[in-house]
Structure 1
Amino acid sequence: MNTVTRPRILVVGAGFAGVECVRRLERKLSPDEADVTLVTPFAYQLYLPLLPQVASGVLTPQSIAVSLRRSKKYRTRIIPGGAIGVDLKSKVCVIRTITDQIVNERYDYIVLAPGSITRTFDIPGLTDHAFGMKTLAEAAYVRDHVISQLDLADASQDPEERASRLQFVVVGGGYAGTETAACLQRLTHAAVKRYPRLDPGLIKWHLIDIAPKLMPELGDKLGSSAQEILRRRGIEISLGVSIAKAGPEEVTFTDGRVIPTRTLIWTAGVVASPLIATLDAETVKGRLAVAPEMNLPGDDGVFALGDSAAVPDLAKGDGAMCPPTAQHAMRQGRHVADNVIASLRGGAMRPYVHKDLGLVVDLGGTDAVSKPLGIELRGLPAQAVARGYHWSALRTNVAKTRVMTNWLLNAVAGDDFVRTGFQARKAARLKDFEYTDAYLTPEQVRAHAEGTARLE
């Protein structure tokens, strides 16, 4: 008897790109046309741009973790784990499950959307003493940590300890860093009213970046407006400055200043997932070099998109690459699904083209700056655009309802400043959340793939 095996489509990553790809594959492919498998440690899509609002308590963690199992056409098999290597020749993906088992998954088509990790540098003490803002666990943990600093400062009789616990440093003047500093400053500003023994003047927030401008993509006028809003709130902004070294109770800036602090939040950019380095393929600044159709030249059935792929930005031209934004990732996910289907059915693939729709920056409360379609907005109009964009981009009606309810409740009732228990006695830092040491070398990947071939 001849057994017909359906083509196996493996999607790596459940970010904006991966989830949009899977959803489109489910809608456009009949069940007997292909088997779709998704590799992700969590069965949810994280709406990353709203993480600062989780850290500040405006939103609950569950509200931005959108379940993958709510789709009416859901039929994708989910492997709970992370891809740690891919052998393109053998068409094998090596996966470490959430129970630390190593399994090999064969594929006919693979869509690589593993996203990015926090970019770090060889700065003494950085990974041991800094927090990130890249995962849901980090956002919840940072909130607990910031509130615990207020609790401990309130209980302390030592003026020096109080001062160090009430100073906070955020590194990174991009969207993530700016929104994180803005939202958490509002948290401490509101919370200190519940601590009558604390002097509000002791609470100091520092936002630093090595670049000469804050969020340069916004342009000079909006960037200056954002700076003015933050400075008016008391956030000290230092540009052209970075971290020289980090310790448990102080941070040294590159300009020589030493800031006593127990809180260093590092948001100085991202780099492609280490998974890309296991492919032993051509890269552009760490991102996998792909064609405008988002396929890997010379390797049939291999596609890459999102933060980990250097996708040519044909709308801009001049050799530009698409920036690692949610806006591009969502559209690339749908587009790559169409190209996978075209390849599966013997059709022609189309190049990806999308003109950027603009930028939104939510600074909390009624403060925001936005640039939709090139139109510069500030204040309430900008806030309406920013939140309207985020709300509409949420994938399910349940998620939209939760987020809108959280916004309204926070606006009316405020925050109770409750720690949820993530702040344990053993501190967790940047290196504890992203598991960057879990990936294999290309040689190890080949060894795993060859072992699977021998067993078969």
Structure 2
Amino acid sequence: MTKQPAHIVVAGGGHVGLFTALRLQRGLRRELRRGDVRITVISPDPYMTYQPFLPEAAAGSLSPRHVVVPLRRVLSRCRFLPGEVTAVDPGRRTISVRTPADQETGGEPLRVDYDELVLAPGSISRTLPVPGLADHGIGFKTIEEAIGLRNHVLEQLDIASSTRDSAVRDAALTFVFVGGGYAGVEALAELEDMGRYACRYYHNIRPEEQKWILVEATDRILPEVGEQMGTYALRELRGRNVDVRLGTRLESCDDRVATLSDGSRHPTRTLVWTAGVKAHPVLASCDVPLDGRGRVRCRPDLRVEDREHLWSAGDAAAVPDLTREDTGGPRALCAPTAQHATRQARRLADNIAAALRGEPLTDYRHRDLGSVASLGLHKGVARVRRRRVKGPAAWLMHRAYHLGRVPTAHRKARILAEWALAGLFRREIVSLGSLEHPRAEFELAAGTGRHPEGT
């Protein structure tokens, strides 16, 4: 009887999913060639978004297609299955997947058998029951949201430059960001840079008329870069007339008015929510042990607790941070950062390969490389070991670090070439908001019987 090849299923196409599959197809090259192993990657999107570059994509410094990595192209030795995971049965070693065909026809989810399963659905935005947030808030976690936000900001400048209503103008030129972590600070800084630059093409809008507000519930921003660099970043933003409100929460955004806990009210047409993430809710239907935050409880070697042949890492996993436990502190968990996700994925892939070969597993340990953050073009902060860097040098370190982490030499070369060209030419200040509704013109023409140009 012919022995069936071991089937490794990677559920998720984000940082963990891509880097795990990439490492597996390299580390198991001989097994894949002999047919002893096969790898399937399941993801609703056919690409991985490199999220640290989302702010630059939103500001137009990078093309959207260079911020995403096509899974089919990069994972050439893996089978890619488009779909959403709906459930996992660890006892039978099966996973249920709703494919695009199932969604179209209403059919039953596809059942996929596995020998080893990597559960890495990632995270979604963590929202709060703030009145009006669902109606008016804009997220900043996907490439679609980043490009949509860019188009939206430029459209607000168009509205402000063309309206005669001062209230509408003021609301259009007010931009509120909630959350003082990496996503909120970098997105605001890059877009404020873009908005200030764009004003040179609007004869009746001055840069100082724009009002950028950053709302943070704690008493500091960018805690990852340390207190000293966080204070510098705060001073830098305020020096650019960004209204940073520490110890403040968003109470409501009904009727396009951002009401803050300090009692202030800000009519605005732009409210960007970047106040953290939470584990993907699909984990609740996967029959795996979860912690208080809905993350999969994992062992230090990245196996799921009390489940055989199940692995997890990244934002969806509660992975013990052994480097902090060694210091005698309380049991700590790894933070949900891209740095941890990438490193955990490599360790996870190596451990799966070791398990298939009957070799011992290795616990995940990491050495903190530091943190870098961009504050707009030619501005940034960085903490590398004991060194603290700011200004253009930190901005270059930010770019160099993330360029080195983007998978494949092909993608690195494209990004590097785009940066080089951006240094030679002016920014493109074009809103392509109509791309979000590509059939609008045709629907109008078909519905009225007249071409839009004749209306």
| TM-score normalised by length of structure 2 | 0.90
Q: Is 1:46 matched with 2:49? A: yes
In structure 2, the residue matched to 1:309 is 317
Match of 1:217 among 220, 224, 233: 224
In structure 2, the residue matched to 1:453 is none
Unaligned regions of 5+ residues in structure 2, if any? 439-455
Q: Is 1:286 matched with 2:294? A: yes
The alpha carbon displacement at 1:282 in A equals 2.4
User: Residue 380 of structure 2 contacts residue 390 of structure 2 at CA under 8 Å; is this kept in 1?
Assistant: yes
The alpha carbon displacement at 1:323 in A equals 0.9
Distance 1:306 1:104, change over 3 A: same
User: Residue 72 of structure 2 contacts residue 80 of structure 2 at CA under 8 Å; is this kept in 1?
Assistant: no
Q: Measure the CA separation in 1 of the matches of 2:316 and 2:378.
A: 34
User: Residue 144 of structure 1 contacts residue 422 of structure 1 at CA under 8 Å; is this kept in 2?
Assistant: no
Q: Is 1:83 matched with 2:82? A: no
**Structure 2 SS opposite 1:191:** helix
In structure 1, the residue matched to 2:443 is none
The alpha carbon displacement at 1:156 in A equals 0.7
Letter of the aligned partner of 1:171 in structure 2? V
In structure 2, the residue matched to 1:15 is 14
Q: Is 1:343 matched with 2:342? A: no
The alpha carbon displacement at 1:406 in A equals 2.2
Q: Measure the CA separation in 1 of the matches of 2:172 and 2:435.
A: 15
The alpha carbon displacement at 1:365 in A equals 1.4
The alpha carbon displacement at 1:216 in A equals 1.9
Match of 2:238 among 224, 231, 239: 231
Distance 1:279 1:70, change over 3 A: closer
In structure 2, the residue matched to 1:446 is none
Q: Measure the CA separation in 1 of the matches of 2:271 and 2:434.
A: 17
Q: Is 1:381 matched with 2:393? A: yes
Q: Measure the CA separation in 2 of the matches of 1:233 and 1:370.
A: 19
**Structure 2 SS opposite 1:168:** strand
Letter of the aligned partner of 1:24 in structure 2? R
Letter of the aligned partner of 1:289 in structure 2? R
Q: Measure the CA separation in 2 of the matches of 1:138 and 1:84.
A: 24
Deviations 1:299-332 (A, max 9, x none): 1100010110011111121311111111111111
Q: Measure the CA separation in 2 of the matches of 1:57 and 1:45.
A: 19
In structure 1, the residue matched to 2:26 is 27
Q: Measure the CA separation in 2 of the matches of 1:423 and 1:169.
A: 24
The alpha carbon displacement at 1:295 in A equals 0.4
Q: Measure the CA separation in 2 of the matches of 1:422 and 1:42.
A: 22
The alpha carbon displacement at 1:416 in A equals 2.3
Q: Measure the CA separation in 1 of the matches of 2:274 and 2:422.
A: 25
**Structure 2 SS opposite 1:59:** coil
**Structure 2 SS opposite 1:45:** strand
The alpha carbon displacement at 1:192 in A equals 1.1
**Structure 1 SS opposite 2:351:** helix
The alpha carbon displacement at 1:90 in A equals 2.4
**Structure 2 SS opposite 1:283:** coil
In structure 1, the residue matched to 2:334 is 322
Alignment of 1:76-225 (within 5 A): 76-99=78-101, 100=103, 102-225=109-232
User: Residue 144 of structure 1 contacts residue 423 of structure 1 at CA under 8 Å; is this kept in 2?
Assistant: no
Q: Alignment RMSD, CA only?
A: 1.6
User: Residue 71 of structure 2 contacts residue 80 of structure 2 at CA under 8 Å; is this kept in 1?
Assistant: no
**Structure 2 SS opposite 1:409:** helix
In structure 2, the residue matched to 1:271 is 278
User: Residue 88 of structure 2 contacts residue 287 of structure 2 at CA under 8 Å; is this kept in 1?
Assistant: no
Letter of the aligned partner of 1:340 in structure 2? I
Q: Measure the CA separation in 2 of the matches of 1:118 and 1:160.
A: 31
Match of 2:370 among 358, 361, 383: 358
Distance 1:62 1:357, change over 3 A: same
Deviations 1:333-367 (A, max 9, x none): 11111111222222211111112111000112111
Deviates more, 1:404-413 or 1:311-320: 404-413
Letter of the aligned partner of 2:310 in structure 1? V
Deviates more, 1:281-290 or 1:263-272: 281-290
The alpha carbon displacement at 1:277 in A equals 1.5
| TM-score normalised by length of structure 1 | 0.90
The alpha carbon displacement at 1:422 in A equals 5.1
Q: Percent identity?
A: 38
Q: Measure the CA separation in 1 of the matches of 2:150 and 2:161.
A: 17
Unaligned regions of 5+ residues in structure 1, if any? 427-456
The alpha carbon displacement at 1:211 in A equals 0.9
Q: Is 1:255 matched with 2:262? A: yes
User: Residue 252 of structure 2 contacts residue 258 of structure 2 at CA under 8 Å; is this kept in 1?
Assistant: yes
Q: Measure the CA separation in 1 of the matches of 2:203 and 2:36.
A: 66
The alpha carbon displacement at 1:98 in A equals 3.3
The alpha carbon displacement at 1:36 in A equals 0.5
Q: Measure the CA separation in 1 of the matches of 2:227 and 2:394.
A: 16
Q: Measure the CA separation in 2 of the matches of 1:360 and 1:133.
A: 19
Q: Measure the CA separation in 2 of the matches of 1:16 and 1:389.
A: 16
**Structure 2 SS opposite 1:183:** helix
Q: Measure the CA separation in 2 of the matches of 1:65 and 1:12.
A: 18
Whose relative contact order is higher, 1 or 2, with alpha carbons under 8 Å and at least 6 apart?
1
Match of 1:300 among 308, 330, 339: 308
Deviations 1:12-46 (A, max 9, x none): 11122111110121112212121100011222221
**Structure 2 SS opposite 1:265:** strand
The alpha carbon displacement at 1:66 in A equals 1.6
Q: Measure the CA separation in 1 of the matches of 2:80 and 2:278.
A: 25
Distance 1:418 1:248, change over 3 A: farther
The alpha carbon displacement at 1:237 in A equals 0.1
Deviates more, 1:171-180 or 1:58-67: 58-67
Q: Measure the CA separation in 1 of the matches of 2:10 and 2:316.
A: 13
Alignment of 1:412-451 (within 5 A): 412-421=424-433, 424=436
Deviates more, 1:417-426 or 1:300-309: 417-426
In structure 1, the residue matched to 2:446 is none
